[in-house]
Structure formats: C-alpha cells, structure tokens
Chain A
C-alpha cells in the first residue's frame, strides 16, 4: 500500500512537470502549427541559468530572474529563428526548431564543460515531508497544486481577455484573423512568452526534484510533454494537462511494475507507442477539436 502511494506520488509529480512544458507546446502548436523542438531545451537552459544565477545572487532574486531570462530567451528564439520563416513551408520552420535545439544543447555542453550540474536547494521546496508513511519532497506536493492554479489563470486569460481572444482567433484561422486586423506577430510573441515563462517555472520545480542537469536533460521531458499535448488534444490546455498527468502516472507505474517482468525499460517506449496509437485512432486527442487539417 505504502508502495502504491509512493508510486502514484511520483507519477503525479512527474505528470505535473510535464504539464508545465506541455502547455508551452500546445499553445505554440495551436497557433503556429509548429512542433517547437527547442522548447525542451529552453527548459534545460532555464535550469542552467538557475544554477549560475543562484551562485551569485540570493535565491529570492535569482528565481524571478530565471523566469524573466527564460521568457527573453523564448522571445528571442521566436524572433530570430521562426519569424523570418513565417511564409516558408512548415517543414523549414521545424528544421529551424531542430537547429535551435542543436545549438542550445551544444552551447550548454560548452558552458558546463560537459559536467552534470547540481541545481541549488531551494528552501521549503527541497524540504521533505511524510505522506501516508512515505517520505517525499515538498515540491512533489506543490507541483500539481501550482499546475492547477496556473491552468486556471491561463484559461481565464485566454477566455476573458482581449489577448486571449486574439490567440483563439489566430489558432482558428491564421489568415482571416490577420485580415481582421489582429497583430499576428504580437500574438505569437505573447504565446512564446507564456510558454517560456511556464517552462521557467517548470524548470524550477523539475530540477528541485531531480537536481542533476546535463545538456540532454531537456530533450526527453520535452518530447514526452509534446506527446502529452497530442494525447490531450493539441491546442487544448486542460487536455495537455490531463494528458501530461496520464503519461506521468503511466510511466511511473510501468517503472514500478515487478522487476521479474523486466518491462521497466519500456517506460519511454510506451509513451511513444501511445502517441502512435492516439495519432492513428483518435488524431484529435482526448479534448481536441474534431477534424481540422492536422491529420
């Protein structure tokens, strides 16, 4: 029993972290129809910035600064690598995203010298707590709550504000909304800013829980978060979050299955198999809007 609770706890915490990245994917995909391959790496760079900033600044200053810098990075990437290709075929933009991801990883290798880096301990978040007889970090408990709060705030933003309305319009029909006088570029920038800010927050939570950062740290969570976004129905924020939790929990359950079955190695493979199955049988995902040009 204790064991089952501990597995579910890890699942919820992993899922929550995927959710924060998945929202970034789903927003960008909803608007630009672009799989932002670099998003996972932005998340990794945010983690590295957390380390370097915490080394020189007090934690209360460095954490907000991490989020601000991550937002700037996301914004800059969009302006430099995606905006010039607005009229180009979708494949070119995606290749550009892969290029950015390659650049970020190689730069991170250069800066860190290839050494795994240790994320600083954050007071309170890094502390431990007992839940039903299992010891765990506070961050594990906080993550899902924070995710739900952020999702609530975000849905309010999208449904109630003018920017949100513009975002919805652009994701529905790019060309028409441009004709209607929506400033496409600012809407896209806002999308990237929101996505990157969430990646920044996600990096703080994720690396507090799993404190070793390598240049490849962002790649896997990034891909899985994308799968989560597809699973939940791309473009749908609640869908991305629920997809992320399902994937996170399923993954930890697979890891937690009896060793004699020897299936724990397939926890990543399972995620991708799920992706292929979803794409083939229910391409709009759990909550996505039916039949557009996606598949």
Chain B
C-alpha cells in the first residue's frame, strides 16, 4: 500500500511540474488534419507533421521527408525554429507532382537530442521509416555523427544550417544550403574592420564546442592577417557568470567583442553586458539571430550585430505567411519562443523544404538514389537567396546579411549586405 502511495507521489511530482507549464496543450487543429492540409491552406494549424499527411495518404501515394533536428538538448531552441520553417513550407505546399502524379509530402521527425551519441539512432530511425531524403540538422556535431548512417543507407541529406566544413567533406551524401564557418567569420571580421575600424577584438567561445571554436579560429586568422590584434577566451560548458570575461574585454580596451556562442549563452552574455553597462559593439554569428537574444538587448544600450542567412522583409509573402502560421498555432508559437519574430533558421528550413521538393521533381520519383543523383544540379531561388551546390555539396553563397538589434523597439534592423574578403 505504502509502495503504491509512494509510486503515485513520484508520478504527482513529475506531473505537477508539467502542470506548471503556462503552455496549454494544443487544442483544435485536429479537424484540420487531412482535408485542409491537402488544400494547402496556411490555416492547417496544429495539423503538423504526421497527422496531416497520414489521413490524407489514403487518397494517394506519399513521399516522406525526414527531419533530422534536435528538439531536446542544448540546441533544441534552434532545431525547433528550423523545423518550424519546414512545417510551414509543408503546410503551404503539402504535395509534389512527379511524372503527372500527385504525391503527398509527409515530414517524419526524429529528435537527435543535440548530442552525438543519440544522433546515429535518430538517423537510423529515419532510414528505417523509408524517407526519401533528409533535412537537417541544426548543429554540425550531430550532422557529422548522423552522416555516416545516411551514407550507408544511400540516403541524401541536406544540411540547413550546419556550418562546419567537415559536415560535407568526406561524405558524398551530405549537402547543405548555408554558408560555412570560415566564410561567416571572414564576413564578420571584415565588417568589424570596415564599420568600426577595429584594431583589437575580444573573442569568447564555449570550450569544446566546435562551432564556437571554429568561428573564433577563422575570425582570428582573418583579423590578425589584416594587422589586427585578437584576444580570445573560452568558458566551460554550463557556465553562467560571464562578468569576468566582459570586464576583461572592457579593461583591455577592445574595439569589438565577437561571441559566436549558442543561444542560451548569448542571452546570458547580453543580459550581463547590459548590467555592466558595456558599450563595446558585439558581433555575433548566425546563432545569435534569435528572438531570445534580441529580447535580452531590449531597452539597453547594447550594440549587437549579427551575420545571418535571412533578413525579415526579404520576402513579404514569406514573412506574412509564417507570421500567420505562428500566430494561429500555439505549438508553433511555443517553438518560436513565444513571439512571431522570424529567425533566419526558419527561413532556411523553409528554403530547404523547397530544395527538397525540387530534388524530388528533378529525380522524377521518391527513390532515394535518384534524388541523391539529382541534388547537385538543383537550383532554387529561395527567400534567403539563390541556392546551388558546388562539387563538395556546399551551397554557393558569397554574401551574408548583417543586421543589428534595434534596442528601442526590440526588433532587428537591416544593416548591410556584407561580402567576405574574397579569399
């Protein structure tokens, strides 16, 4: 009896926490499954992923696209926003016409848990569900860990925002539609020198994170190559006190602070910089293009510039569509961090979905080998720019957008289109 009671209490403990959540479980949207989704209405609401296509599948054949993204772990926030773009694109264009026949497109999710040891099983989960190709992931580490599984299965994967050079190098089956770390660091270093005539920069990254350290290393190369001076530090994982680092930067009298860190840290750094009253401009990479980071800069004197793939206002129809989608769907709203500011990764996810459709059309079937063969020749004018692939499987891109945080209004403001040093 006692045991049963204690058992119950364990349950209560867990679920009382769950109940604390302000997010009400999504209601409605269930009726929208099938019918509405098939008509391509943006109102498809809660009928995301499986549900919509499953019930519609009775009408015709289905082509499945795997979504290899983190929805737990430390990259969950970015992964969800990227997925959001794909879901919206899927609700907008839920079918594809191949050889005169209309197929439903179904998104199959697999959570790679932001960690390299969960990624292989998530990848084989997708392989096991017979998807035709895979999109993702946010975060290069998991992409590299899952990559061999896709290669083994002869399944093509299109990376959306995994920017590490080693994702596509040595893997014939991995493609990507974003620019690379070295390009991004190059762009930001040039921006720092052009805009602020910066001579001295402070770089701060997470120890052991290949994304942070890669960008810092490339940034240092370019910046020092142009005669500048770079001071860099790494902080340990799960660190929360950044004031020592920020004070150090201040006392060193640097011209810019470069922080290519993940969202949670970026938020922490911005908040603390604000309380320390730091007025040195911050440079961020694409991860900082996130409304949570933006929120942290609101009503402060911070200067934050980020390089990114997409600037809100780049495509009015997309902006309107995705905002409607987010505002009409509580799950999407939660995934987007509680407001409707568009993250660049969402636009990238959106483009990735259409690149996938193009590849399916070019292949003329849902056959994975045919799709893999077709991808290199795919060209697509997406909302984030035109996309084409080079021989390694990387996107051919030569510009990035720089935007700045408008601290008074809590929005992003477009700064300029910046190209690299052309190296």
By a beta-carbon cutoff of 8 Å, the part of chain A in contact with chain B is 2-3, 6-7, 9-10, 14, 45, 48-49, 52, 55-56, 73, 76-77, 79-81, 84, 103-104, 107-116, 118, 126, 128, 134-137, 206, 209-212, 214, 216-217, 219-221, 251-252, 255-256, 259-260, 262, 264-269
Contacts and interface: CB of A to CB of B under 8 A. Distances in A.
B241 A252 contact: yes
A266 B13 CA distance: 36
A243 to B, nearest CB: 17
Interface residues of B, number: 57
A214 B241 contact: no
Given A107-B14, A265-B207, A114 B76 contact: yes
A264 B21 CA distance: 37
* Chain A binding surface SS class: helix
A116 B264 contact: yes
A220 B17 contact: no
Contact of A252 (B71, B202, B244, B337): B244
B277 A212 contact: no
B263 interface: yes
A126 to B, nearest CB: 8
Contacts of A2: 251
Interface in B174-221: 202, 207
A73 B20 CA distance: 13
A211 B264 contact: no
Contacts of B202: 259
A77 to B, nearest CB: 7
A128 B235 contact: no
B79 to A, nearest CB: 8
Interface stretch (B51-59, B268-276, B392-400): B268-276
A115 to B, nearest CB: 5
Given A80-B9, A116-B292, A264-B245, A49 B238 contact: no
Interface in B240-272: 240-241, 243-245, 247-248, 250-251, 263-265, 267-268, 271-272
B248 A216 contact: no
B244 A214 contact: no
Nearest to B268: A212
Contacts of B251: 2-3, 6
A232 B235 CA distance: 26
Contacts of B10: 80-81
Interface stretch (B141-149, B226-234, B349-357): B226-234
Contact of B77 (A79, A111, A114): A114
Given A212-B267, A216-B238, A52 B243 contact: no
